Amino acid sequence: MCMIHQLRLFFSSDKTKAAFETDSVFRNQVKNVLQDHFIARKVLNILTGFWLMWILEEYRIVMLRPASIYIADNYFVRLFMPTLPCALQVYSVIAIGFCTVAYNFYFSPLRISKVILTATVMWLNILPWGYGFFSHVGHVFVLSHLLGIFLPDVNVSKENAAHSYLSMQWYYLGIVANYSMSGIWKLGGLIYKLFANDGTIHWLHPKAALYNSIVGFHKYDIPLTSQFDIFHFSWPWQVGFLIILLLQTFAVFIVLFPKRYFLFCIAIVTMHFVNITAFAIMFIWQPLVIFILFFPYHKIFNPTLSIENK
């Protein structure tokens, strides 16, 4: 399907339903998206279980720090975690999280169970915020749960398959919109610095990648090694930045091309891998979430989700 036709379907439930009933190619696309998301939701629950174990270890590390350095320096933190919580509070919330993860994995998740899990994730995710650290706090991971509250039941019928498909496409749009906002922010900053010409470092500066790497490694107290020789040639990083800028800025359009989801997935995961290894930009959970949500499970597993008359 062409982009214009996909765009029309994206904003019209009636046209989507009509296409589902008359177009066999589109009907298969809908089935594949529903199948993939059905499995992705299960895998996301497994990932959330590991995330809860990770946050438990994070809390144990936090408890070794003086309580006085915990600062609630934004509205959300001041409202929900104004002071460092005691162990009983954290362990209780983590236990609730594990129970909800188990329920959502083994049963069709109810709206209330998704709300509880989302609230659990959002509250526990505050812990890193109390130390002035906002960059890598798992916003995509949190958003994958928050937007999931509004998704319909995965047990769909022919009557509501088109509606379920559109809901999931809007869900994916909400996820990738993070990357488009990041791209627009980078593009605006780049244009401003190029025209301002005030001597500040921008991403197309020959030393930009090197300086960014030094800052990233210094932040984590990781010693500088010979790996910084990879920044001897600046042009590959400049070209790479322009590719990433295009990828992020126009990420929202990927929802119009479900057959290209996996290519987008590989590109985003590769970008995060380079950022982690070359710049110590530790977005760990984001690439895992993207990989889980955009992986083409229907090409590996036999269909487990049927669309029946009801």
**Residue 279 and residue 228: Cα distance in Å, rounded?**
10
What is the extent of the structural domain holding 204?
A: 3-299
What distance in Å separates the CA atoms of residue 71 and residue 83, rounded to the nearest whole number?
8
What are phi and psi for residue 308, nearest 5 degrees? Answer: -120, 165
**C-alpha triplet 304, 306, 310: angle, nearest 5°:** 150
Within-domain flag for 307: no
For the chain, where are the alpha helices, taking DSSP H only? Answer: 3-10, 13-22, 24-62, 75-80, 87-106, 111-124, 139-146, 161-196, 208-219, 235-249, 261-279, 285-294
Return the number of other C-beta atoms located less than 10 Å from residue 296's C-beta: 16
Contact residues for 257 (Cβ-Cβ < 8 A; gap 6+): 3, 6
Classify residue 252: in a domain, yes or no.
yes
pLDDT at 310: 45
Task: Report yes or no: 45 and 141 within 8 Å, Cβ to Cβ.
Answer: no
Q: Which helix (H) or strand (E) holds 159?
A: none
At 276-298, the pLDDT tens digits run 888 877 788 899 999 999 999 98
Whether 305 is covered by a domain: the verdict is no
For 62, half-sphere exposure in the C-beta direction (CA atoms, 13 angstrom radius) is: 25
Is residue 310 one of the residues assigned to a domain? no
Distance CA 274, CA 16 (A): 38
**246 part of a folded domain:** yes
Please check whether residue 126 lies inside any domain of the structure. yes
Low-confidence ranges of the chain (pLDDT < 50): 309-310
Closest by Cα among 145, 275, 269 to 215:
275
- By C-alpha distance, which of 241, 235, 232 is closest to 190? 241
| Distance separating alpha carbons of residues 97 and 94, to the nearest angstrom | 5
pLDDT for 266 equals 95
User: Can you give the pLDDT at residue 147?
Assistant: 95
Flag whether 93 is in a domain: yes
- What is the predicted pLDDT for the residue at 133? 60
Per the domain annotation, does 124 fall within a domain? yes
Q: Domains in the chain: how many in total? A: 1
Burial of 268 (0-12, 13-18, 19+ CB in 10 A): buried
Give residue-wise pLDDT tens across range 192-247.
888 887 778 888 888 888 888 887 777 777 776 656 677 878 888 889 999 999 99
